[in-house]
Amino acid sequence: MASTQNRPRLFWFSGTGNSLFVARELARLLEAEVLEPVTETPSGTARDASRIGIVFPVYCFGLPRCVATFLTRVPLNSDAYVFTVATMALLPGAAHRQAERILEARGAALAAGWSLRMPDNFSPVPASFLQRAAGRVEAKTLARLEGIAEHVRQAHRLPAEGSGAPLRGMGDWLHRRMLPRMAHWDRGFRVDASCTGCGLCERICPVGNILLDDGKPVWQGSCEACYACMQWCPVDAVHCRGLLGNRLHYRNPHVRAEELFVRLPGEEDASLRTPDPAAGHPSPDRPMPAR
C-alpha cells in the first residue's frame, strides 16, 4: 500500500464521463489521496504532492480551456512528478505538448503523458465506430491503465504520447484558432417543449455557464464545449442548431450524473444545487431515451 505522503493527487475534467471514468480507475490503482475536478478550487494544497496527474479529453487537438487554466494556477512543487492522461476519439494532437509548455513556463516539467482511446462523444460529428464498439474500447483502456499506474508508481519519465510532428503542428494551429470561439458555441443551444425544468443542465455544467430562467436553461456565453448539458438531459430536451440536431447522444455508462457535479464559487457542498427527483422531475440517473 502506498504511503499517504507518496499517494498521487489526481484532477479531472469530463463532460460525458469518459475522463472521469479513467481518472477514477487510475485513482483506484494508485490509491490516490485526492480526486478532484480541475474546475474546483483544490481543497488541499498540491504544492506538497510528489505526484500530480491530470485527466482530460482532447478538444480540437489540444487542451480544454479550463485544463489549461488549471495548469497555470495549480500550486506545484518544481520537483513534482506531473503527468497527463488524455482521452480521445482518434488523435491526441498537441494536447500533451501544450501542457508541457505551460509547465515549463512555470519552471516545472511534464514527466509523462499518455493518450487513451475512448468512445467518441463529440456531438458535432456523427456517431463513430468507436462509440458503437464502446465495450471493446473501454476494455483496452482499462488494460493499459495497469501499466500507466506502474509507471507512475516508479516515477518513470517518458516521452509524452502524441501525434507526429506534422499533425501535432496542425493541431496546435487549429486549436489556437478554435479555442477562443468555443466559449460562444452555446449560442446554438436550445430546449424544446419536453424540458421539465429539472435543473440538471444547470447543475452538471462544470463552469456554471447555465442558469435557469423561469424553469428553462439560459446559457451565459462562457461555454467549455463539453456538451454535458445536452448529453445528460434526462428527457433529451437540449439541442443545438446545425449538425448537432440528429446526433446520437452518449454518456459513459459507468458514471452517474451527480458524480460530475462540481462545487461552484460560493458553494460549500457539491449537492447544494442537486436537482430533486422527488419534486416530480426526472432522475439524473434515468436511462437515455431510446432513439
The CATH number that applies at residue 205 is 3.30.70.20
Model confidence pLDDT, tens digit, residues 92-135: 788 999 999 999 999 999 999 999 988 766 655 555 544 555 66
Q: Confirm whether 284 is domain-assigned.
A: no
Establish if 287 belongs to a structural domain.
no
Rounded alpha-carbon distances, angstroms, from residue 50 to 9, 63, 106, 188, 262: 9, 23, 16, 43, 25
Instruction: Provide φ and ψ at 111, rounded to 5°.
Output: -75, -35
Q: What is the pLDDT of residue 192?
A: 92
CB 189 within 8 A of CB 225: no
pLDDT of residue 76: 87
- 239 and 123 assigned to the same domain: no
**Structure confidence at residue 13 (pLDDT):** 96
> What is the structure's pLDDT at 119?
79
Alpha-carbon radius of gyration of the chain:
19
Query: Can you give the pLDDT at residue 127?
Result: 52
pLDDT top residue among 264 and 223: 223
153 and 190 assigned to the same domain: no
Same-domain pairing of 12 and 126: yes
Range name among 37-51, 53-67, 180-194 with the lowest pLDDT average: 37-51
Pair 147, 194 in one domain = no
- Measured CA to CA, the distance from residue 32 to residue 8 in angstroms comes to 5
Stretch 238-257: mean pLDDT, rounded? 76
**Count of domains for the chain:** 2
pLDDT at position 44: 60
- Residue 17's pLDDT is what? 93
- Residue-averaged pLDDT of the chain: 81
**Domain housing 171:** 4-178
- In this prediction, residues 173-200 reach a mean pLDDT of 85
Spell out where the chain has E strands. 9-12, 34-37, 51-57, 81-88, 110-117, 189-191, 210-213, 216-219, 238-240
Q: Compute the distance between CA of residue 36 and CA of residue 192 in angstroms, rounded to an integer.
A: 33
Is residue 290 one of the residues assigned to a domain? Answer: no
Q: For residue 122, which phi and psi values (nearest 5 degrees)?
A: -85, 110
Q: Would residue 58 count as lying in a domain?
A: yes
Q: Are residues 166 and 214 located together in one domain of the fold?
A: no
Same-domain pairing of 32 and 170: yes
Tell me, yes or no, whether 259 and 132 share the same domain: no
Q: Are 18 and 62 in contact (CB under 8 A)?
A: no
Say how far apart CA 106 and CA 108 lie, in whole Å: 5
Report pLDDT digits (tens) over 86-95. 998 777 788 9
Together in a domain, 109 and 138: yes
- Domain membership of residue 289 (yes or no) is no
Can you give the CATH number for the domain in which 106 is found? Answer: 3.40.50.360
